[in-house]
Amino acid sequence: MGLLRSVASRVVALVPVVLGVTVLVFALNAVALGDPARAAMGQRADPETLERLRRDYALDRPLPVQYGLWLGRLARGDLGESFREQRPVRDVIVERLPATARLALAATLISVVLGVGIGAVAAVRAGSALDHVLMGISVLGISTPVFWLGLMLMLVFAVKLAWLPVSGYGDGALGHLILPAVTLGALHTGTVARMTRSSLLEVVRQDFMATARAKGLPESVVLAKHALRNALIPVVTVIGIGLADLLVGAPLTETVFAWPGVGRLLVAAVLQRDLPVVMGAVLVFALVYVVGNLLVDLAYLVIDPRMRDAARA
Amino acid sequence: MRRAALAAALGAVLAAAVVTGPAAGAKPGGTLRMVFVSDPPTLDPAHATDLTSSAVIRQVFDALLELDEKLVPAPALAERWTVSADARTYTFHLRRGVKFHTGREVRAADVKASFERAAKGKRPWVFEKLVGARDFIKGGAPEIAGVRVVDDATVELRLDRPFAPFLHLIAYDAASIVPREEADKRGAGFASHPVGTGAFRFVSWRRDDQVVLERFPEHFRGPAHLDRVVFRVIPAEATRYNEYVSGQLDVSDIPTGRCRAVQADARLKSEAAIWATLGTSALRFNVERAPFGDARVRKALAHAIDPSIIVERLLEGCVTPAQGIVPPVLAGWTPAAKRLPLDRERAKKLLAEAGFPGGRGLGPLAYHYNTSDINQRIAEALQAQLKEIGVTLELRRLDWAAHIKLVDDGSAGFFRQGWIADYPDPENFLTVLFHSRNVGAPGNTSRYKNPALDRLLDEADTMAPGPERVKRYQQAEQMILDDAVWVSLYHYASRGLVKAHVKGLERSAQSTAPEFLAPLRKVWLER
């Protein structure tokens, strides 16, 4: 019961966070120069048509009224209509959401599997040449710009070797997902690897590890069952924070690989001043981020029985 | 010498570029894989304002007329037309038996319905010359009085006053004929499921990914050669190029900064297509903002700018420096106007006469431009060139939406804004961009008001095509350049890549890479 209440209170606390984000984005859009009606008209705009579009989009209303209208629609589950595509924002986002979800999940999987693997090997071989090489690769992964890495991977694996498609979603085939997922995942793999290594090194010095070894357990079991599980708590935190990296990296990765996701949609909407789409996409990103972090908090309860007991109390 | 060599090379490529495969021996079948830089915002001709949307619309829809390779209006849904002696009434006779993709025959009533629907869309200026159109657009009339259905196969269009380029407007994609019942039934959804009479019918559109069209076997000109056309959407230039060299695209564009490299590449040079298009890159002054209200200041700046440096060093000689406003490639146009020549001594003298000797007292001048790599480099070049006469430029870069707002509302004093012709006529450059009735967003962002120029343009706009009309526009163009309201930099060129097996792809002066606004019904693949 205590656990459920704890989760419920976390969920309620998310509402002001998400609303705060929407106020901020709306305000930023308001101070940004540009007129959505004009941006939709191409090089030549007829003044009367501009006026009509501004009326249709409610752009002639005061900003608080515009925000109030948006919020009112949101309460009814309506995200409004895209200025650019002239159809419901919900449809515009829902069409692109599966592509971004696939990419983000695949990238997370890659960063967790590779990151934890590299970090664990580096920790086991701490101080060795292998450790230095693996940590060097991790730093490289963290510091390499997504755009550049994507193009390099594309040149090698798609253009030169022709092992994978250059870009696009294809028909959802796995081959199309690999390069964008590796590119986006690389951003975070290094962070996970470094955190796993340092966390594991911290844990192996604990007394209970000596106890486990004294019981005569094989080293592999000591490491996997006792060390890694305890080392994972800070790693899970990093994975949660890494969601932000994924959201930041998604527009760039999607642009490089012509991946039809929400990130690209957001970039185009910002450039076109398509405010309803910007608000909708940011709302989705904010929700993904806060819900992702909530899941991370819940994961602590699974990994660490002490936290579970504390939550119950 | 180097420039002459480049000009010769460009000429050779241009000559090669306009060659299109003969229709004879055309092989049917295959899929043409094309590419867009961005997703089309709409596929509804009433709401499109961009080249990407137009590239699809032109395949799915037909208008009464179309422009041929030389951009001359030619029959399409209308098999012939007549013009009254006072040049105010046009009567179009429709082909019999033309079918929409739904199978229904096209009737003259569809023309009226399509025009009235589109007049309330985003390009009402296409229809505003028709009698009663402005009233209808404002909601003051139930119909456009100037569009009359004579019978099922005849429609009569009446103009308020003669307008020489009217046939170009009728051939414009905004004037495409749509089946009214489909547009009504689908409402806003018509933009995602277009239905027309075109040589290709709509199959699917996965947003930000691809648009697929297939051959419409019952097209009135007979079935197209290609089975399908796929337009991929690839925003990153480098990715488009990689897709092209990997053989996944049949056409693409030459990436920025690789024009010379591609022409020197043994494998790619035969696939490079560079051709002049109907557009001019320019700098404009807002004459309502100090110090640009003073013609001496404008002229001083115009005299200090050297477009040839920009063309040669920044644009790799793949465009031509501009003397005038109207591109020489416009059919029937004889370029005569000359921009103010590079003369820095004269520039300094004019600045001194205006009260700013050596640029003193002028302060830093803000130069506004929209974000792009090439615009940034041009801005830096201008900064260096104007420094030589003592003028300091402060560079103000904004994205397009913000830039165009400042330009339209008159907040920018000195700014970059080129022009790409909506239709091939000098009126679309000179009247749209400089007539006082078009101040602001309609085109005259210099906010220039010159009654003598207005009279000249009004006269030319209503004259019959011919040398006398061209002469009026030439005078108007020189008047504008002498007053230094606009400083021409260069005329645009399209830079495309086309695989050797793609035949019949037209490259008219209105076509651009990578969209290629060409009739794809003429294209076939030789494999």
Percent of chain A with pLDDT over 90: 29
Q: Which two tokens stand for residue B451?
A: 């009654």
Task: Give the separation between CA A260 and CA B106, rounded to whole angstroms.
Answer: 37
- Over 50: is that where the pLDDT of A221 sits? yes
Whole-number average pLDDT of chain B: 92
Q: What is the amino acid identity at position B118?
A: A
Q: Which of B360, B338, B340, B337 is nearest to B348 (CA)?
A: B360
The three-state secondary structure class of B149 is strand
Please, how many CA atoms are within 13 Å of residue B53, restricted to the half-sphere of its CB? 25
Task: Give the separation between CA B260 and CA B182, rounded to whole angstroms.
Answer: 48
Residue B35's H or E segment, with its range, is strand B31-36
Nearest CA in chain B to A155: B242
Task: Give the separation between CA A283 and CA B150, rounded to whole angstroms.
Answer: 54
List the single best residue of B44, B120, B122 to mutate versus A (max A Cβ within 10 A): B122
**Integer CA distances (angstroms), B520 to B170, B220, B338, B466, B510, in order:** 20, 15, 38, 32, 15
DSSP A205-270: TSHHHHHHHHTT--HHHIIIIIIIHHHHHHHHHHHHHHHHHHHHHHHHHHHHTT--SHHHHHHHHH
Reported as a single tens digit per residue, the pLDDT across B351-393 is 999 999 999 999 899 999 998 889 999 999 999 999 999 999 9
Using an 8 Å Cβ cutoff, are A131 and A122 in contact?
A: yes
Q: How many CB atoms lie within 10 A of CB A219?
A: 11
Which DSSP letter does residue B488 get?
E
Give the pLDDT of residue B9: 42
Q: What's the gap in Å between the CA of B515 and the closest CA on chain A?
A: 16
Give the pLDDT of residue B23: 60
Q: What is the mean pLDDT of residues B323-330?
A: 94
Q: Which of B414, B393, A44 is nearest to B406 (CA)?
A: B414
Task: Give the separation between CA B497 and CA B250, rounded to whole angstroms.
Answer: 8
Dihedral pair phi/psi, residue B400, rounded to 5°: -60, -45
DSSP A56-125: HTTTTS-HHHHHHHHHHHHHTT---B-TTT-SBHHHHHHHHHHHHHHHHHHHHHHHHHHHHHHHHHHHHT
Q: Is B85 exposed, middle or buried (0-12, 13-18, 19+ CB in 10 A)?
A: exposed
- Over 70: is that where the pLDDT of A313 sits? no
Task: Give the separation between CA B448 and CA B519, rounded to whole angstroms.
Answer: 38
Dihedral pair phi/psi, residue B283, rounded to 5°: -110, 140
- Taking the Cβ of residue B405 and every Cβ of chain A, the question of whether any pair is shorter than 8 Å is answered with yes
Reported as a single tens digit per residue, the pLDDT across A255-290 is 999 999 999 999 889 888 888 899 999 888 888 888
Question: Where on the phi/psi map is residue B78: left (φ > 0), alpha (ψ -120 to 50), or beta?
Answer: beta
Using an 8 Å Cβ cutoff, are A259 and A107 in contact?
A: no
Give the pLDDT of residue B399: 86
**Do you find a cis peptide bond into B442, omega within 30 degrees of 0?**
no
Q: How many CB atoms lie within 10 A of CB B130?
A: 24
Chain B partners within 8 Å of A154 (Cβ): 239, 242
Reported as a single tens digit per residue, the pLDDT across B189-225 is 999 999 999 999 999 999 999 999 999 999 999 999 9
B265 Cβ contact list (under 8 Å, min separation 6): none
Reported as a single tens digit per residue, the pLDDT across A2-33 is 667 777 877 788 888 888 888 888 888 777 77
Dihedral pair phi/psi, residue B67, rounded to 5°: -95, 135
Helices then strands, counting H and E runs in chain A, come out as 14, 0
Is B441–A40 a contact, with Cβ atoms under 8 angstroms apart? Answer: no
pLDDT category at B5 given cuts 50, 70, 90 is very low
Q: Which two tokens stand for residue B164?
A: 């020489």
Q: What is the amino acid identity at position A59?
A: L
Query: Buried b vs exposed e over A140-174: b needs ≥16 C-beta within 10 Å?
Result: ebbebebbebbbebbeebbbeeeebbbbbbeeeee
- Taking the Cβ of residue A171 and every Cβ of chain B, the question of whether any pair is shorter than 8 Å is answered with no
- Taking the Cβ of residue A94 and every Cβ of chain B, the question of whether any pair is shorter than 8 Å is answered with no
Q: What is the mean pLDDT of residues B124-137?
A: 95
Q: Can you tell me the ipTM of this complex?
A: 0.86
Whole-number average pLDDT of chain A: 85
Q: What is the amino acid identity at position A180?
A: P
Give the pLDDT of residue A214: 81
List the single best residue of B207, B396, B423, B434 to mutate versus A (max A Cβ within 10 A): B207
- Over 90: is that where the pLDDT of A305 sits? no
B453 Cα distance to chain centroid? 24
Nearest CA in chain B to A156: B242
Reported as a single tens digit per residue, the pLDDT across A128-169 is 999 999 999 898 888 888 899 999 999 999 999 999 999 999
- Over 50: is that where the pLDDT of B19 sits? no
List the single best residue of B209, B284, B370, B411 to mutate versus A (max A Cβ within 10 A): B209
- Taking the Cβ of residue B313 and every Cβ of chain A, the question of whether any pair is shorter than 8 Å is answered with no
- Taking the Cβ of residue B206 and every Cβ of chain A, the question of whether any pair is shorter than 8 Å is answered with yes
pLDDT category at B24 given cuts 50, 70, 90 is low
Q: What is the mean pLDDT of residues B126-139?
A: 94
Task: Give the separation between CA B72 and CA A48, rounded to whole angstroms.
Answer: 31
pLDDT category at B478 given cuts 50, 70, 90 is very high
**Do you find a cis peptide bond into B73, omega within 30 degrees of 0?**
no
Q: Which of residues 134-153 of A touch B (CB under 8 A)?
A: 151
**Pick from B14-23, B150-159, B274-283: least confident:** B14-23
Q: What's the gap in Å between the CA of B314 and the closest CA on chain A?
A: 24
- Over 50: is that where the pLDDT of B454 sits? yes
Give the pLDDT of residue A1: 54
Task: Give the separation between CA B318 and CA B7, rounded to whole angstroms.
Answer: 9
Is B49–A42 a contact, with Cβ atoms under 8 angstroms apart? Answer: yes
Our CA dihedral for A295, A301, A303, A309, rounded to 10 degrees, sits at 180
Q: Which of B318, B290, B285 is nearest to B301 (CA)?
A: B285
Q: Is A71 exposed, middle or buried (0-12, 13-18, 19+ CB in 10 A)?
A: middle
